[in-house]
Structure 1
């Protein structure tokens, strides 16, 4: 996906063509011409509108009132500046002679400069129209509706982002149905709603529980989730989790797995990875955040008894329940046995099922007997012993897993343990700016302001258009000690307010600063 100067290459502007800004004064004596506002469209659905955009090597500079912000190409889908013009730097003497004759290399070929300029103007118009259209789509009433082989979609995401997710859904369906050897039983395709932010999700998706990133509604066969740009990895986790509920509904008809099976299975699939290059799902990864919670329970001397997990509807279905399913799915001794257990309780004739509203399920005691039968155990204690031994050996070994565990522990208020994970993630070269921001938050709470400032600066470097990062930097800079700088703190608050003007806390924070 091209971006920045390369974003115009995405729109057929050759990478060798360089963009510069026209001079604000066209001739001696002319009054300076105010720079024209441009726009930037980011890959995660954010926009910067009506700001002067200046192309620079590797990205663009966005000129806010309070500061100039460099935005790297890797974050950008498209950008345009009406003040841009095309230039070309000669590579050798032969090319310089062509330039001296009034030619320029543009769009992959040599042409007259005036022809190149006309082409650039056309491309600028296309880019402006494209960004305007994407921005209008942020209103849910302008959402795009698409039907694919297995699903119906409604979304207001950038096209490039949606296409990646659409492909992911189709591969997920194919992977899931192939593994379980099942086909959909629904009379119609389920509908997937993907919102560009939490605001639309919370306003429109009214049938779900509060405080969640997504949910699947059984009766309407609708999946609702939003793209959380602040934590894309978490969004994909939620997508895999909630889509698992939808796929289970599609292939199991009126049968519903009890919560202690349904949610752990969704959590197991939630840890999956999507390989864009191979177009494959990779499963069996550790849910680092859940493991961190389990390890915290173990440290407190609290473990989950298998007899208590069976039939449970508690939050521990997501933590200890996940670990049990991971044990079953990833232990060669039990893989096929668990697979047969999962399939048979929903589909095999002769297994007694009971009503559960409009659906069918199995009662707790029957499932305990069947679990023992299928796993080859006479008592739960022996299976539990193997499970607990397995859990104690689990580790969040991947960098992504360590980052997720640290952010999860911080969100739980377990700052001492969070600091351990976050410090390790940073030492390994953490890839998410939100990991550095979380580490800064933990250090800030412990008065480690100098290091906290270093961490939040790294987060800003990775994502220079996240208003919350500037707000956190401002909070660090108003603290007493060597990092104190009220002037820069106020600038950070003002910049945060410019980036996200509808978040009043930024402007209020700026107004409350009285410089020394």
Structure 2
């Protein structure tokens, strides 16, 4: 009898928590808490981490602290007080010493809590059954977790407040009664399977003016990338609320969205989110600097006129850098804020035409390119565009960059966005960055993805092994290494491997026992490192089912 995927996932997660009666807690240097069966420091200072699936020697720099829990058989007491506790048969748990019965009661309570969470995560693992939350301005839905639901709700409400103070969001009576829908998917694969517009490939998020919804996925490997996407696309949502029938010029719309998308996000002591827009994007600066050097840069007059169909990543970099320049040049800051408000609110002083448009209203206000140019120059108090261009280019040229870091970040963005047309350039950038001595696990992972796309999955293994070496507790790298070894495929946006039982069986039949064991070991370890990631659990379940069928 076929077992429904949700029930199979729940069973797998339950098994993952079985046998965890004794576990140590490890806090990583980046703040994650990982449960391992045993964590012991070696003579050289590194840690031997014993997982259910395998053992890992982890360099000390990745470990912030370790709490030895429950099994005190080889625990070395720190002082006389701890010696007495051990002599009494006490155990250390959650940073406290307690009697064996108290420990067992605490353990039973936590085991039950984990069981309930496992069932809850499985219940909401499909987007149609996702968690929901309604806030002051939005309706959220996600199949990630309750914690991420709360985080994104706080984030986008905080962003609404920022934009409201800057421009003044005054929705129409109808929109004021409507809460925009925010859909957050648990992974890129899940997003590509389920987003309502059928977006995939290099699209990593979008705001739909047709159904008034914001859509993106959470990237567990790189949450900062998700922050950028969420804030970038939410800019489009908020400018829609300001004037739902305005269709802005592409260079302004994307340049502004990218400026606000690149933000520092922090929490204060009271837990409130603070957003500081305008982080420097070194990859975009690198692109414009190289264009200036090669005399291929986009002139301002051309940028003002560019249409959406001709707006590529190259124009994107120029638009963002121009907006960044205006916001970081004192004499233009006030003028650009005035332009920003006038451009998006479309007052009577701005000329526009009504044209048919595929939005909810059926028509849109189209501001001609020359009119956008006029109100910008008026707000900036500029008459000489050539001089303004000289100032902008000089500003960009004056920004000092670390070449290896900038080339890596440019390529990394292309991989995360699955911009396959730019993969040759991405490969050159990654090779140059790595050859220059950049020791960043993300660079090796990104190059593995490019190699997998261009030359096949097996070509990715060496770089994935290096990524694992540099970041041994990264679940994504472990998962992708397991998938690459198995030959079952890698999935990261533009590659969606879909196989029936027979095709996966045939793939695994070609592997020897050593490869099968290592692949399963890596996939299982990924699940231990990221127990809330349902996609990893499903891939492991598929692998094990196939292996059982072929009897290997």
- Quote the offset at 1:461 in angstroms: 1.4
8 Å CA contact 1:215–1:223 kept in 2: the answer is yes
Measured after TM superposition, the shift of residue 492 of structure 1 is 4.4
Shift of 1:62: 3.2
The separation in 2 between residues aligned to 1:469 and 1:450, in whole angstroms, is 6
Once the 2 structures are TM-superposed, how far is the Cα of residue 92 of structure 1 from its aligned partner?
4.1
Question: Which residue does 2:474 correspond to in 1?
Answer: 463
Q: Which residue of 1 aligns with 2:222?
A: 231
Deviation at 1:267, TM superposition (A): 1.2
In the alignment, what sits opposite 2:258? 267
- Structure 1: give runs of 5+ residues left out of the alignment: 1-17, 22-39, 77-83, 476-485, 511-516
**Is residue 86–residue 120 contact of structure 1 (8 Å, CA) maintained in 2?**
no
Partner residue, 1:413: 424
The residue aligned with 2:509 is none
Q: Shift of residue 385 of structure 1?
A: 2.2
Partner residue, 2:7: none
Counterpart of 1:325? 323
- Residue 366 of structure 1 deviates from its aligned partner by 1.7
Match of 2:288, SS state, is helix
Displacement of 1:305 in angstroms is: 1.8
In the alignment, is residue 135 of structure 1 matched against residue 122 of structure 2? Answer: yes
Q: Does the C-alpha gap of structure 1 residues 442 and 190 become closer, same or farther in structure 2, counting only changes over 3 Å?
A: closer
Once the two structures are TM-superposed, the CA of residue 295 in structure 1 deviates from its matched residue by 3.8
1:218 aligns with 2:218: no
Identify the residue that residue 287 of structure 1 maps to in structure 2. 281
* Counterpart Cα distance in 2 of 1:253 and 1:425: 49
Retained in 1: the 8 A contact 2:49–2:55? no
- SS where residue 255 of structure 2 aligns? helix
Matches within 5 A, 1:460-499: 460-464=471-475, 466-470=478-482, 492-496=518-522
Q: What is the deviation of 1:85? A: 4.9
Aligned to 1:207: 197
Instruction: Identify which of structures 1 and 2 has the higher relative contact order when contacts are C-alpha pairs closer than 8 Å and 6+ apart.
Output: 2
Aligned CA distance change for structure 1 residues 115 and 338 (closer, same or farther; 3 Å): closer
Q: Is the 8 A contact 1:286 1:395 kept in 2?
A: no
Cα deviation, residue 176, structure 1: 2.1
Is the contact made by 1:215 and 1:242 (CA closer than 8 Å) also made in structure 2?
Answer: yes
1:285 Cα offset (Å) = 1.7
3-state SS of 2:320 partner:
helix
- The reply on whether 1:370 has 2:364 as its aligned counterpart is no
Q: Helix, strand or coil for the counterpart of 1:63? A: coil
Cα deviation for residue 458 of structure 1 reads 2.7
Structure-2 residue corresponding to 1:308: 302
Match of 1:30 in 2: none
Other structure's SS at 1:359 match: strand
Q: Are residue 386 (structure 1) and residue 391 (structure 2) matched?
A: yes
Q: CA deviation at 1:68?
A: 4.1
Bigger drift between 114-123 and 277-286 goes to 277-286
Provide the C-alpha distance between the structure 2 equivalents of 1:238 and 1:158, rounded to a whole number of angstroms.
19
Q: Deviations over 1:75-100 (max 9, x none)?
A: 99xxxxxxx95659655445544554
Q: Is the 8 A contact 1:456 1:473 kept in 2?
A: no
Q: CA deviation at 1:235?
A: 1.7
Contact 2:255 / 2:323 at 8 angstroms: preserved in 1? yes
Report deviation, 1:120.
1.4
Check whether the contact 1:406–1:422 (CA below 8 A) recurs between aligned residues. no
CA distance, structure 2, for counterparts of residue 320 and residue 503 of structure 1: 43
Summarize the alignment of residues 150-229 of structure 1 with structure 2, pairs less than 5 Å apart. Answer: 150-185=137-172, 186-187=175-176, 188-207=178-197, 209-211=199-201, 212-229=203-220
| SS of corresponding position for 1:350 | coil
Number of aligned positions between the proteins: 443
Provide the rounded CA distance (Å) in 2 between the counterparts of 1:168 and 1:406: 27
Closer, same or farther: CA 459–351 of 1 in aligned 2, 3 Å: same
Note closer, same or farther for the CA distance 1:110–1:320 as it changes in structure 2 (3 Å cut).
Answer: closer
1:125-184 C-alpha deviation (Å, 9 max, x unpaired): 111221332233211132111011222111111223333322221221222222334444
What is the deviation of 1:505? 12
Backbone CA RMSD of aligned residues: 4.4
Residue-by-residue CA offset, 1:182-214 (whole Å, 9 max, x unaligned): 444432221111010123322221225432111
CA positional deviation for 1:363:
1.2
Query: Does 2:39 correspond to 1:63?
Result: no
Residue 337 of structure 2 corresponds to which residue in structure 1?
339
The verdict on how the C-alpha distance between 1:331 and 1:488 changes in structure 2, with shifts beyond 3 A counting, is farther
State the match for 1:10 in structure 2. none
Q: Which whole-Å CA distance do the structure 2 matches of 1:172 and 1:151 have between them?
A: 12
Q: What CA deviation, in whole Å up to 9, does each residue of 1:296-339 have, x standing for no partner?
A: 43454311122221132222442211122112222112111111
Measure the CA separation in 2 of the matches of 1:137 and 1:274. 28
Distance between the aligned counterparts of 1:301 and 1:323, measured in 2?
16
Distance 2:367 2:460 in 1: 55
Equivalents in 1 of 2:117, 2:542: separation in Å? 32
Cα distance in 1, alignment partners of residues 280 and 183 from structure 2: 28
Instruction: Give, in angstroms, the shift of residue 226 of structure 1.
Output: 0.6
Give the Cα–Cα distance (whole angstroms) in 1 for the partners of residues 303 and 182 of structure 2. Answer: 31
Q: What secondary structure is seen at the aligned counterpart in 2 of 1:20?
A: coil
Matched, 1:54 2:37: yes
Structure 1 residue 243 displacement after superposition: 0.9
